[in-house]
Amino acid sequence: MTVTAPAPTTGAPAVTARTGATAVTAALVLLVAALAVVDITQGTAAVGPAEVWKALTGRADTADASVVIASRLPRMTAGLLVGAALGTAGAALQAVSRNVLAAPDTLAVNAGAYFALGLLTVTGVSLPLLASSGVAFAGGLAAAAVVLALSGLGTGTVRLVLAGSALTLGLTSLTEGLLLLFPQETDGLYQWSQGSISQNGFDGVLRMAPVALIGLVGLLLVARRVDALALGDEAAQGLGVPVRTTRITVVVLASLLSAAAVTLAGPVGFVGLCAPALLRPLARRVRPFVRIRLGLPVAGLIGAALVLGADVLLRATVSAEAAVAVPTGVVTSILGALFLVAMALRLRDTATTGAPERLRIPTRTVFLATVTTLAAALIALTVAAILLGDTGLLLGDVANWARGTARPSISFVLDTRVPRVVAALLAGAALALSGTLVQAVTRNPLAEPGILGVSGGAALGAVLLVTTAPSAGSWSVAGAAFAGAAVTAVLVFGLAARGGFGQNRLVLVGVGVSAATTALISLFIVLTDPFNATKALTWLSGSTYGRTLPDALPVAGALVLGIAVAVVRRAELDLVSLDDDTPALLGLRLGPARLGFLAVAVLLGATAVAAAGAVGFVGLVAPHAARALVGRRHVRVVPVALLLGASLVCAADTLGRTVIAPAQLGAGLMTAVIGTPYFLYLLVRTRR
């Protein structure tokens, strides 16, 4: 009796668990089916539910049947396939890495696939859809391998997101450069890159479905091994599981699923992050979902519901004509960015916010020699920037132009080139000083205006103005950029301040807000007319094209204010960068001091974006290099960072104007190419 009595007790929960899993799965299937039905009935043509039913039963008019069969059904099935593939891929990546933020987006899989397809497009090589999927697979797998190698397969949540975000920014910048250099070859690629499930027939869906099926079946076959990895590497090895081989296999199969989705619909953002996150609360209540073999299909259903739900929401909230232009991926990216911020606030922040790493303290002679060398290099770069370009000039031409005696052709070149050089110099210095202030206040060596979303907010404000009022003046653009930067700064720093500006929370919230601003910018670019879209895309690449001297006045004013504050309050800046206790002991009110420095940093970042577009990584590279050269005292860091920032953006702008002249690349694209490897190097150097 006493031996057999527990049997009913242990059996009942098992039956209940199986019943609960069946019920939840059935509910998800019904939800996806309902969303699919609603999605089919939405569109620009006057084809409602009755006409759709007649088309499915073969009793509709030819026109109605054509709309349903050629457009709406393919769009719906593409949404199902893409959502299921990304949801499954995200769940597999999170399981194998034991990291709740692992996904095709955060591992740069989508960015790698997008870049690979962009390269294929500009070459003019026409490949079948399956071959294109292979190219996307290779690009996505290579990107994932780089991110995982830098971050490690463990619980390094912030390191993984930072490595993925940095690589994504670099690859996206390269792809945007291709869009600007080859506008005819890449026509429509930008809108596709936001994630559009619109289809012209079933051809793409039928070709990608077997690829996705192979990825899903492969993951199910290794599901038992992945479950064993949850016990830990040593325990899994003790059970005879080849840990390294299993991880590589899962990453390859997840990249294959992501490549199929990207090839069919473009990079649909954050579905692979949100679907597994929504599965976790279900798994806590329905235990069978903890097992990968059951969890993967459920994550796929949730992913399909997310994509179809975003598509239904888009078409229900905007006009039918606008819904055609807006990619579904923009909606999922906005929702996913908000989801990332919410997850960042819930994650326990174990990183400290102590002072930056100890550095040697050079002598005064070394400091003066460094400043002199950098100043000389900056002068040389400025002269080269004025002389070089699509039209080469001599110093005599510049002297004649200054005296007003140059030929008209020379005057025209210098009248357009000199303001560009001035804008690049001032913007670079402003971004460097902004990054210096932000890193000091947050005591976070990885903080900078771009990563924290401040530059994204400034870009959003400016794009809103230039797309709605193309004739807006420089002060208006600067004001719009500052308004956007101020809003994002309040969001990021306000939310991060709840935990004392913890490194994890600050960076993750900033990445989420930055992703949201990027999605909103894409939304406005897609909705505007082609001329403004090209203008905005060029401006977002960090180009100084078309800048005049009045355009540089706002950033010049902000830079004068920022330098004055940094010099006059240099002692307070040193104290703020130390810890929370020392300033209080010396009578410094930490809260107002932080707020004041952050306000100046936001103003500097916003006006720099207004003057030279979205230029990334300068606010990260310049302060780091300055501290490495002259130590941590801000009376030395500030002038060196200013010189480094101005030199970096000036050199990037000059290279962008000369390397492929008469075509041009924005300074932001060039700094991303330079800054991404440096940022990844910092991650390697600071690995614990």
Alpha helices in 267-350 (DSSP H): 271-285, 292-317, 320-325, 328-346
Angle subtended at Cα 83 by Cα 152 and Cα 348, rounded to the nearest 5 degrees: 40
Q: Label residue 5 by pLDDT band (50, 70, 90).
A: very low
Of 434, 459, 460, 378, nearest to 621 by C-alpha is 434
Structure confidence at residue 439 (pLDDT): 85
CA 113 from centre of chain: 15
Query: Which of 147-151, 416-420, 587-591 is the most confident on average?
Result: 416-420
- Higher model confidence: residue 368 or residue 100? 368
Q: Label residue 576 by pLDDT band (50, 70, 90).
A: confident
Mean pLDDT confidence for 536-543: 70
- Higher model confidence: residue 319 or residue 146? 146
* Residue 138 contacts residue 310 (beta carbons within 8 Å): no
Q: Which two tokens stand for residue 434?
A: 């902004």
Q: Tell me which of 8-22, 32-46, 296-310, 407-421 is least confident.
A: 8-22
Structure confidence at residue 671 (pLDDT): 82
Of 654, 663, 649, nearest to 393 by C-alpha is 654
Phi-psi region of 359 (alpha: psi -120 to 50; beta: other; left: phi over 0): beta
With a cut of 50, say whether residue 184 has pLDDT above it.
yes
Structure confidence at residue 638 (pLDDT): 92
- Higher model confidence: residue 548 or residue 429? 429
With a cut of 80, say whether residue 655 has pLDDT above it.
yes
The residue assigned the tokens 């939310």 is 495
The percent of residues above 70 in pLDDT, for the chain, comes to 83
Q: Which amino acid, residue 202?
A: F
With a cut of 80, say whether residue 685 has pLDDT above it.
no
Q: What is the largest CA-CA distance in the chain?
A: 111
- Higher model confidence: residue 508 or residue 34? 34
With a cut of 80, say whether residue 559 has pLDDT above it.
yes
The residue assigned the tokens 């397809």 is 117
Output the CA torsion sign for 353, 354, 358, 361.
Answer: positive
- Higher model confidence: residue 270 or residue 526? 270
* Residue 448 contacts residue 619 (beta carbons within 8 Å): yes
With a cut of 70, say whether residue 187 has pLDDT above it.
no
Angle subtended at Cα 80 by Cα 54 and Cα 310, rounded to the nearest 5 degrees: 95
* Residue 99 contacts residue 154 (beta carbons within 8 Å): yes
With a cut of 80, say whether residue 252 has pLDDT above it.
yes
Give the C-alpha separation, 458 to 60, whole Å: 51
With a cut of 70, say whether residue 45 has pLDDT above it.
no
pLDDT tens readout for residues 326-364: 788 888 888 888 887 887 777 665 544 444 445 557 778
pLDDT tens readout for residues 109-149: 888 888 888 888 887 777 777 777 788 888 888 888 888 77
Of 310, 299, 194, nearest to 254 by C-alpha is 299
pTM: 0.77
* Residue 135 contacts residue 116 (beta carbons within 8 Å): yes
Structure confidence at residue 62 (pLDDT): 55
- Higher model confidence: residue 293 or residue 643? 643
Q: Tell me which of 206-210, 352-356, 574-578, 614-618 is least confident.
A: 352-356
Q: Which amino acid, residue 48?
A: G
Question: SS3 string of 588-600?
Answer: CCHHHHHHHHHHH
Neighbouring residues of 562: CB distance < 8 A, sequence distance ≥ 6: 430, 433, 434, 437, 600, 601, 603, 604
Neighbouring residues of 355: CB distance < 8 A, sequence distance ≥ 6: 443, 577, 578, 579, 632
Q: Which amino acid, residue 112?
A: G
Structure confidence at residue 550 (pLDDT): 86
Structure confidence at residue 569 (pLDDT): 87
Structure confidence at residue 564 (pLDDT): 93
Q: Label residue 434 by pLDDT band (50, 70, 90).
A: very high
- Higher model confidence: residue 567 or residue 230? 567
- Higher model confidence: residue 298 or residue 656? 298
Angle subtended at Cα 442 by Cα 353 and Cα 686, rounded to the nearest 5 degrees: 50
Residue 492 CB coordination number (10 Å): 28
Helical (H) or strand (E) element with 245: helix 243-265
Of 539, 540, 544, nearest to 416 by C-alpha is 544
Neighbouring residues of 529: CB distance < 8 A, sequence distance ≥ 6: none
The residue assigned the tokens 């596709």 is 192
Give the C-alpha separation, 664 to 658, whole Å: 7
- Is residue 17 classed as helix, strand or coil in its secondary structure? helix
The percent of residues above 90 in pLDDT, for the chain, comes to 13
The residue assigned the tokens 């208006």 is 476
Q: Label residue 504 by pLDDT band (50, 70, 90).
A: low
* Residue 265 contacts residue 82 (beta carbons within 8 Å): yes
**Across all residues in the chain, what is the average pLDDT?**
79
Q: Which two tokens stand for residue 508?
A: 């993750």
Q: Label residue 557 by pLDDT band (50, 70, 90).
A: very high
